[in-house]
Structure 1
Amino acid sequence: MSTVRSSLSDENRETTAKALQGALVDLIDLSLIGKQAHWNVYGKNFRSLHLQLDEIVVSARNATDLVAERAIAIGVSADGRAATVAETSSVPKIHDGQISDNEVVSLFIEAYTAIIANMRERIEVTESADPVTQDLLIGVTAELEKQSWMFQAELG
């Protein structure tokens, strides 16, 4: 039971909580694969990707905090445990070991495509359930789409 009272109806709070939890695990996983790729990328574009991946991690972690704090503000728990992320994330998995610069670009295009599709669904379901959460998700999605565009631009 939460000690935080919300002005949302139980149904709207449940809808919003589900959207926020999905966003939370995807963003946590994005930051984790960003770091994994950052440590293991190699190739002619190593330096630029190495730096770009750090930017992605910072952005994802900042968005994660916003999403988790919104969940708490409406009276639900944020679950960012490793097991929860591993079981529920929609982010494509990254293999262990070194990963070429071209593989990194392809992986992140695929990851952003999946995350953005899910975020747009979350935006839609929160439209009437909680416009405040919808606005937050729109802002996060705008940043994800910008990062996606930057990876796509690398393919020339």
Structure 2
Amino acid sequence: MADAFTASPVLGESLQKVLADVTALSLNAKQLHWNIVGPGFRALHLYLDDVVAIAREASDEVAERMRAIGLTADGRPDSVASANTLPKLGEGKISDVDGAAAAVAAITATVGTLRQVHEKVDVEDPASADILLDYVRRLEQQAWFIGSAIATA
């Protein structure tokens, strides 16, 4: 019987970066969802729910993958706050146009982290890399949807 796969510190650091960003994305998208105002409110409100669902699913899947390969997932608020790469959101209400731009920026930062660590992850653990690629595709689609909702021809 083969020994169980155990992740290296590099793989652990890479997956922890992803976990911090997808967890922060779910929080930022929900913050925007609650505070969007303007003519594009309804569409953006619904798109942001989709982003939240994808990000929450990603955080759970990444954290569970980490545990499956012998790592400890750190989703504590302080850890996520200090480690995520997303742009900071302002307080209060936000216009639909500014909110869409903020959502796209947050998704883009998250996808940037997924892409940045993908190669290192793939070298050591293609199964974890496959998880990352799935969320790259899904989040890029959401960025496209949200950006298109407020774009002009």
Give the TM-score normalised by structure 1. Answer: 0.90
Q: Which among 127, 150, 156 is matched to residue 145 of structure 2?
A: 150
Cα distance between partner residues in 2 of 1:93 and 1:13: 31
Structure 1: unaligned runs, 5 residues or longer: none
Identical aligned residues as a percent: 38
Query: Which residue of 1 is the match for residue 44 of structure 2?
Result: 49
CA deviations over 1:9-45 (Å, ceiling 9, x no partner): xxx5212211111111101100101111111100001
For the aligned residues, what is the CA RMSD? 1.3
Q: Which among 68, 73, 84 is matched to residue 73 of structure 1?
A: 68
Cα distance between partner residues in 1 of 2:33 and 2:104: 15
Cα distance between partner residues in 2 of 1:19 and 1:148: 23
Determine whether 1:94 maps to 2:92.
no
Determine whether 1:134 maps to 2:124.
no
Q: Which among 56, 62, 71 is matched to residue 57 of structure 2?
A: 62
1:94 aligned partner, one-letter code: L
Cα distance between partner residues in 1 of 2:41 and 2:147: 17
Structure 2: unaligned runs, 5 residues or longer: none
1:57 aligned partner, one-letter code: V
Aligned residues: 149
Q: Which among 115, 118, 122 is matched to residue 120 of structure 1?
A: 115
Find runs of 4+ consecutive structure 1 residues off by over 6 angstroms. none
